[in-house]
Structure 1
Amino acid sequence: MFGLLFKNRISSSKILSAGMAFAGVAALSYMALSYLAGNNLFVMGEEMRSAFEQAMAAYRDAGMLNNVPAELQESFSDGIISTYELLFPGQYIISAAALAAVTYFLARACLSRMNYFLAPGLSFTMISLPWYSIWGPIAGLGLTLAGDNFSWLLVAKVGKNILYMLFWLYIVLGLSVAAYFFRRINVAWPLKLIFLVFVFAYPPFSMAGLVLLGLTDSLVNFRRLAPPA
């Protein structure tokens, strides 16, 4: 598909978006067929579960769980495995889309070395989402709440996976907005360096801020960019 789009000289943003969307739909279709065939998408196979348990045991032996009380370490490990099982469909779709993005950049690099005509590259600081993308988190939150309130387990799991995927999408968008203003704002480099140290020193706070920034930008358009096609 990338070859056809490159041949027709489609814009870089459309090629990347189409490739990632196609990969996501393909992954979703595969999981839908697997579910119809009777497979439980929210339960790991015995081999994968065994590998996870061995990994958690290795972390425990290495002292990485010392901050967790001994009586809670087993339940903590089980909780991590359960969370991974719950969010596996979302992780699968994200992995497929990310692989498509990597494929796009590798293909573009190869074509560039061959002096093939390419549309202007996509600037990371220009990434944006249309305002109606807000219906994504609304749908995810609505499904999660409805599933939890009415004990619709599958609906709740679907909603949580939607929110999980959008979490990473809005982190990327938040990084794009932050990078844009980081470059545009005329502040002394020592202050920018202090800001970066703060960002890397408090990952949970930074990630929450990026998600909020990305979510808000899709509505407010801080950078005053033209609406994405």
Structure 2
Amino acid sequence: MVGLARILLISSLACLVMSLSSPLAVVSGLVWGVTLLLGIFWTGARQLLIIFVLNTLLLFGIAGDRAWFSFLIFGLPSLIMALQLGSQKGYYEVQARGILSVLLLVSLFLGTAYFANQGEDISVSPQGIKAQVDANLEILSDSGMLGFYEKRGMSREELRSQFTEIYIWSFRHLPAWYYIQAMVAVFVILRLGIYYGRTRELPIPHPKRFSEEVMPWPIVWIVISGLVLMLWGWGGTTPWYYVGSNLVVTSVPVAIYFGIATMAYLWKRMSVRARQWWLAIIVLNVLFFTLPAMVFLGLLGLFDSLMNYRRLEPKKEG
């Protein structure tokens, strides 16, 4: 009973802060997610569901429709992962189901918003883009940077055109940013939960060493599907092109993560002298060739999943 009251109190306070304070929404959302995730060990499935319903009523009662995105990113996926932990699933099974559920929930959110807007683009407003571009040009003008660019042969209209293209590209890929935020939230909640669970000696599954993690092969096929759709709608004027490019952009942070894991594995097997050379190369690339370095890490993560460079034997989770 004490565990139930404690979990209810912490989760309710997190929902209250999330509803009333936008700057603290992310931190309180993570606290809510971790509390739900580990709450299964103190309450059980039925009591945790009751707590979740009470949290949801509090969240929507104060924040209204603004609470939907936080509910879908922090709340529901954490509950799903908690129930998986209660069923004694392995770490990567819990993580996979958490990420899959949050991607489906965000897709449902975006799809509902799209149809509620009668099929019109929910992310791009010509008036909004023009206002953003004008504001940026005004800032450049006030800071003196506009004159700096004009001296180098770049007119105000050319800058306006470039800013407009950047904003259109960013707005067209808002779904990808939503998906990335959602995956990061699930990943951080689970990792924080694992870390805290260890300190409390909870029977919680542990992940592999970072250097032994390998990208799940379905992600590779998501990237391939995205590239195929981009080629199919080449020119950037069809919905298929943006569906494909959003899939690719969503997969980029995942590929880079596993690329870094591959580099960590190789680093451990290098001699001290080789490490010194590679450290210098890595620092130079990060400082002066950031984008190519990120592309390299992403490709390394992708091809390691396909080719299994490290020859890591799959370990069965207990």
Normalising to structure 1: TM-score of the pair? 0.84
Q: Which amino acid in structure 1 is aligned with residue 209 of structure 2?
A: S
1:142 aligned residue = 228
Structure with greater Cα Rg: 2
The yes-or-no answer on 1:207 pairing with 2:294 is: yes
Query: Structure 2: which 5+ residue stretches go unaligned?
Result: 1-79
Alignment of 1:28-177 (within 5 A): 28-37=107-116, 38=118, 39-43=120-124, 50=131, 54=135, 57-58=138-139, 61-62=142-143, 69-71=154-156, 72-131=158-217, 133-148=219-234, 153-177=238-262
- Render the CA deviation track for 1:10-41: whole Å, top value 9, x for unaligned: 22222222212211111111111222222523
Match of 2:234, SS state, is helix
Counterparts in 2 of 1:124 and 1:90: CA distance versus 1, 3 Å:
same
- Name the count of aligned residue pairs: 228
Higher relative contact order (CA 8 A, sep 6+): 1
- Provide the rounded CA distance (Å) in 2 between the counterparts of 1:6 and 1:212: 33
Contact 1:24 1:94 in 2 (8 A): no
Counterparts in 2 of 1:167 and 1:185: CA distance versus 1, 3 Å:
same
Counterparts in 2 of 1:100 and 1:58: CA distance versus 1, 3 Å:
farther
1:9 aligned residue = 88
Match of 1:148, SS state, is coil
- Provide the rounded CA distance (Å) in 1 between the counterparts of 2:92 and 2:142: 46
C-alpha displacement at 1:152, in angstroms?
6.6
- Provide the rounded CA distance (Å) in 1 between the counterparts of 2:103 and 2:230: 21
C-alpha displacement at 1:108, in angstroms?
2.1
- Provide the rounded CA distance (Å) in 2 between the counterparts of 1:122 and 1:59: 48
The yes-or-no answer on 1:196 pairing with 2:196 is: no
- Provide the rounded CA distance (Å) in 2 between the counterparts of 1:53 and 1:100: 37
- Provide the rounded CA distance (Å) in 1 between the counterparts of 2:219 and 2:174: 23
- Provide the rounded CA distance (Å) in 2 between the counterparts of 1:56 and 1:11: 52
Q: CA RMSD in A?
A: 2.9
Contact 2:129 2:168 in 1 (8 A): no
Q: Which amino acid in structure 1 is aligned with residue 205 of structure 2?
A: A
C-alpha displacement at 1:113, in angstroms?
2.9
2:98 aligned residue = 19
Greater helix share, structure number: 2
- Render the CA deviation track for 1:89-109: whole Å, top value 9, x for unaligned: 111111111111111122223
Larger mean CA deviation between 163-172 and 121-130 belongs to 121-130
- Provide the rounded CA distance (Å) in 1 between the counterparts of 2:129 and 2:196: 36
C-alpha displacement at 1:203, in angstroms?
0.3
Query: Structure 1: which 5+ residue stretches go unaligned?
Result: none
- Provide the rounded CA distance (Å) in 2 between the counterparts of 1:43 and 1:228: 46
